[in-house]
């Protein structure tokens, strides 16, 4: 569900970010990320604050 919210917010899920989300094992972190992504107007900032890279740079 996190990936779906990212896709809606960004228009697509960057491959690197998709890989990071799919390998995340901390369910509580994913739950918090999901909630914050739903509420935010700046999804990239939220994603980065949770320690994920949005692109490969």
CA separation for the pair 38, 43 (Å, rounded): 9
Task: Give residue 46's pLDDT.
Answer: 96
The pLDDT value recorded for residue 55 is 83
Count of CB atoms within 10 A of residue 6's CB?
25
- CA–CA separation, 19 vs 1, rounded Å? 14
Determine, yes or no, domain membership for 28.
yes
So what's the pLDDT on residue 57? Answer: 57
List of the chain residues with pLDDT < 70: 56-57
Q: How many domains does the chain have?
A: 1
| Residue 43 is assigned to a structural domain of this protein | yes
The answer as to whether 41 is a domain residue is yes
Q: pTM of the predicted model, to two decimals?
A: 0.90
Expressed as residue numbers, the domain containing 37 is: 2-49
């Amino acid at each position: 569900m996190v990936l779906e919210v990212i896709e809606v917010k960004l228009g697509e899920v960057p491959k690197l970010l998709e890989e990071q989300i799919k390998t995340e094992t901390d369910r509580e972190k994913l739950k918090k990320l999901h909630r914050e992504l739903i509420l935010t107007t700046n999804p990239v900032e939220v994603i980065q604050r949770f320690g994920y890279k949005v692109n490969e740079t």
